[in-house]
């Protein structure tokens, strides 16, 4: 079995599994409890917060959530509602994950002015984002690395320019695909454990201390009232272990990407959709073969990749459309995403299977 769908999720690393199991066996107290078992659980949470802040190279607050979807919702809704007395203008992009784009639609229905930019409309997307922000803008929300194509937006350039001109504008970054791979700059940063070899069910939101934010979940007042609910200590422990285990520098991804592209560039009818992208995500269209057909053919060979074309309702990917990919090419898109566990031989096996699939199905 060759797993090349790591932008969707990763296999938990041994360190994360060990941390979770150890915590479930030895440190299972409720972190809100006043006795020693509760105190030990709270220490685990505090330690992981420091680990994440250290990896982000920031000072501020870390709030644990059920995953990146909740983190994005907390950031978007929490910031918009906290700042609505000052204004109602929000700037975002047309290539966001649904956990950002859907909350934006809801805010628009509630009367917020939501401006959504398409990268394909601009030669320099970072400049377009910067210039879209004005004195009435209360929130700028964008992703560091796109989950479908790996498209990179320079968060440092955008953040520094926006805060210099309009320091009261809150900047939110979906950092899910970029965390541990690139530096992230924003007032609010959404993170996910299972994209970096942690365990599903836990994410986090970084918040710079001066930033105003209102909670989405109310209850027992855990995490300073920002996110009520008993914290899943074992998942948080695994999150911290995964962060610690993630290498500071990785050359494998660029090597795997180079091997794959060497072959793809030799074939006719292959369109690369991943431009200005991270090394671990390669999105390309196989003209003449629908992505769903190719995906299931590869699955029969024991190779797991993703389709970049369709959502659950069978529509063309809005992200690819916003990046200027034609509907025809989007309908034949394939996303390959590497992990630290993949090898050169995995890519060679993928290339052989792709070649066979093209010969069999291309029309």
pLDDT in tens, 144-185: 999 999 999 999 999 999 999 999 999 999 999 999 999 999
pLDDT at 312 over 60: no
Strands 281-286 and 333-337: antiparallel
**Distance between CA 191 and CA 234 in Å, rounded?**
17
The CATH number covering residue 91 comes to: 3.40.640.10
Percent of the chain with pLDDT over 70: 98
Q: Which of 245, 262, 280 is the last residue of a domain?
A: 245
**Distance between CA 177 and CA 283 in Å, rounded?**
15
Is 3 part of any domain? no
Given the residues 13, 27, 169, 311, select the one marked as catalytic: 311
Is 7 part of any domain? no
Same domain, 223 and 296: no
Q: Count the domains in the chain.
A: 2
Task: State the pLDDT at residue 314.
Answer: 59
Same domain, 62 and 123: yes
Same domain, 81 and 179: yes
DSSP label of 295: H
**Range(s) of the domain holding residue 337:** 249-361
Is 214 part of any domain? yes
Query: Is residue 311 annotated as part of the catalytic site, yes or no?
Result: yes
Is 1 part of any domain? no
CA atoms within 13 A on the CB side of 361: 20
Is 352 part of any domain? yes
Q: Is the dihedral of CA 205, 209, 210, 215 positive or negative?
A: positive
Is 8 part of any domain? no
Same domain, 290 and 274: yes
Q: Which of 225, 245, 265 is the last residue of a domain?
A: 245
Is 286 exposed, middle or buried, given 0-12, 13-18 or 19+ CB atoms closer than 10 A? buried
Same domain, 181 and 263: no
**Distance between CA 261 and CA 12 in Å, rounded?**
27
Same domain, 222 and 263: no
Task: State the pLDDT at residue 316.
Answer: 82
**Distance between CA 95 and CA 176 in Å, rounded?**
14
Same domain, 30 and 50: yes
Is 101 part of any domain? yes
Q: Which of 197, 217, 245 is the last residue of a domain?
A: 245
Same domain, 261 and 226: no
pLDDT in tens, 211-233: 999 999 999 999 998 999 999 99
Task: State the pLDDT at residue 187.
Answer: 99
Same domain, 69 and 194: yes
pLDDT at 310 over 70: no
Do residues 27 and 41 lie in contact, with contact meaning Cβ atoms separated by under 8 Å?
yes
Same domain, 125 and 178: yes
> Which residue in the block uniquely carries the two structure tokens 């922000």?
133
Task: State the pLDDT at residue 206.
Answer: 99
Phi, psi of 60 (to 5 degrees): 155, -155
Q: What is the band of 121 on the pLDDT scale with cuts at 50, 70, 90? A: confident
The number of helices, as runs of H, and strands, as runs of E, in the chain is 12, 13
Most confident segment among 117-126, 198-207, 208-217: 198-207
> Which residue in the block uniquely carries the two structure tokens 């659980």?
41
Our CA dihedral for 172, 174, 175, 178, rounded to 10 degrees, sits at -130
Q: Distances from the Cα of 206 to the Cαs of 12, 52, 62, in angstroms?
A: 22, 9, 5
Task: State the pLDDT at residue 315.
Answer: 73
Do residues 82 and 215 lie in contact, with contact meaning Cβ atoms separated by under 8 Å?
no
Same domain, 78 and 213: yes
Is 5 part of any domain? no
Same domain, 203 and 257: no
Nearest CA-CA partner of 252 in 345, 339, 350: 339
The CATH number covering residue 357 comes to: 3.90.1150.10
pLDDT at 309 over 70: no
């Amino acid at each position: 079995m060759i797993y090349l769908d790591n932008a969707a999720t990763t296999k938990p690393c041994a360190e994360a599994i060990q941390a979770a199991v150890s915590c479930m066996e030895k440190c299972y107290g409720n972190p809100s409890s006043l006795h020693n078992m509760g105190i030990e659980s709270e220490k685990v949470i505090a330690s992981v917060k420091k680990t994440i802040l250290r990896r982000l190279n920031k000072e501020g607050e870390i709030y644990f959530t059920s995953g990146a979807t909740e983190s994005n919702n907390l950031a978007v809704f929490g910031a918009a509602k906290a700042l609505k007395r000052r204004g109602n203008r929000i700037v975002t992009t047309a290539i966001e994950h649904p956990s950002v784009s859907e909350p934006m639609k809801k805010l628009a229905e509630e009367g917020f002015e939501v401006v959504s930019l398409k990268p394909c409309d601009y030669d320099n997307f970072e400049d377009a984002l910067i210039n879209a922000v004005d004195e009435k803008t209360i929130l700028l929300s964008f992703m560091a690395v796109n989950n479908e194509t790996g498209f990179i937006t320079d968060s440092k350039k955008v953040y520094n320019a926006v805060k210099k001109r309009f320091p009261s504008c809150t900047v939110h970054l979906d950092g899910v695909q970029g965390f541990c791979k690139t530096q992230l700059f924003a007032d609010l940063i959404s993170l996910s454990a299972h994209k970096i070899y942690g365990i599903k069910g836990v994410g986090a939101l970084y918040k710079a201390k001066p930033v105003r934010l209102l909670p989405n979940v109310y209850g027992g007042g855990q995490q300073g009232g920002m996110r009520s609910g008993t914290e899943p200590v074992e998942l948080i422990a695994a999150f911290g272990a995964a962060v610690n285990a993630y290498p500071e520098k990785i050359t494998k991804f660029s090597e795997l990407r180079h091997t794959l592209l060497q072959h793809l560039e030799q074939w006719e009818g292959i369109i690369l959709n991943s431009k200005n992208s991270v090394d671990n995500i390669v999105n390309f269209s196989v003209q003449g073969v629908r992505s769903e057909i190719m995906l299931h053919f590869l699955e029969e060979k024991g190779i797991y990749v993703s389709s970049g074309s369709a959502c659950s309702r069978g529509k063309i990917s809005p992200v690819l459309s916003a990046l200027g990919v034609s509907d025809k090419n989007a309908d034949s898109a394939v996303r390959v995403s590497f992990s630290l566990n993949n090898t050169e031989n995995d890519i060679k096996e993928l290339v052989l299977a792709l070649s066979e699939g093209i010969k069999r199905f291309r029309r």
